[in-house]
Amino acid sequence: MAKKWTKSEEDRYGSELRTLYISQNKTISEVGLILNIAPQTVFSRLHRLGIPTCREKKLFVNNQRKDIILPKTRSATLAELLGVLLGDGHISHFQVIITLGSKELKYAHHVSSLLKNVFGKKPKISVRSTGYRDVYLGSTAITSWLMREGLVSNKVEDQVDAPLWIFKKREYMIAFLRGFFDTDGSIYKLKYGIQLSFTNKSLPLLYSLQKMLRALGYAASAMSAYRVYVTRVSEVERFFREIKPANAKHQRRFSEFIRRVGTQAVNEDAL
């Protein structure tokens, strides 16, 4: 006879399984790997909690999905998605996931559209108890393909870099910078102006971001404390015209700062 659970155990097991099995649509085997328990134990807990096993909704067959399209050609959309993934993305064996802030719902839908356009399947968006949002798509075919493109599970430990093909076209560099800035960039006001920064602890990637900015004509700074900066007000304005960040939080901050800076900073910028 199975041991009776305490209320705390029942709540914890229920929360874990509803998140992984229902919200994130993982298979019983995947849930077992994550929780470090046998698949039979996962099934038993689902049954005891009254959570129906929905095999027809699990799109994995031998860990391969049948509704995924892998890219055959390079594109600006793919370049932007890779920028997003190298910013706030994470790749596990089973899925790709992008974690965004609690106030980034509109941008979460933009990232969802990027994934659908590149891989042919709309991902899911889940909300954590903290309000943070995860945009995720499960497929070992996708994760294997991304690994072949040079992405890794631990970006800092492996010192990841941008794929070389990004540098071959101006539109690819623009799109990649947009995706990266939207997820791991920032804009803030200085005493007499505005500054953009790109932050990453993978030095090869940071060098590549600097190289892209300079190739596009921006006076990107030298690296400092894992950051590269763009400081001239005219270049910050051009960045928002040319790169066109898609994350509304950056657009709002830029509009607010540019109003507050006014002509004084613009005139100083021209000196």
Give pLDDT tens digits for 233-252: 999 999 999 999 999 999 99
Q: Give the mean pLDDT of 82-89.
A: 95
Q: How far is CA 72 from the centre of its chain?
A: 22
Contact predicate 209/174, CB 8 Å: no
pLDDT at residue 263 tops 60: no
Better-predicted residue by pLDDT, 66 or 158: 158
Q: Output the DSSP codes for 11-58.
A: HHHHHHHIIIIIIS---HHHHHHHHTS-HHHHHHHHHHHT----GGG-
Predicted pLDDT of residue 209: 96
Helix or strand holding residue 254 (H, E): helix 248-269
Percent of the chain's residues with pLDDT above 70: 91
Please provide residue 101's backbone torsions phi and psi, each rounded to the nearest 5 degrees: -70, 170
Reduced to 3 states, what is the DSSP secondary structure of residue 229?
strand
Taking only the tens place, the pLDDT of each residue in 28-43 is 777 888 888 887 788 8
Q: What is the pLDDT of residues 135-169, one digit of tens each?
A: 999 888 899 999 999 998 888 888 999 999 999 99
pLDDT at residue 259 in the model? 81
DSSP at 165:
G
Mean predicted lDDT score pLDDT of the chain:
86
What pTM was computed for the model?
0.74
Per-residue model confidence (pLDDT) at position 64: 55
| Over residues 172-193, mean pLDDT | 93
Q: What's the burial of 237, exposed, middle or buried (CB within 10 Å: 0-12/13-18/19+)?
A: middle
Residues 196-211: tens digit of each pLDDT: 999 999 999 999 999 9
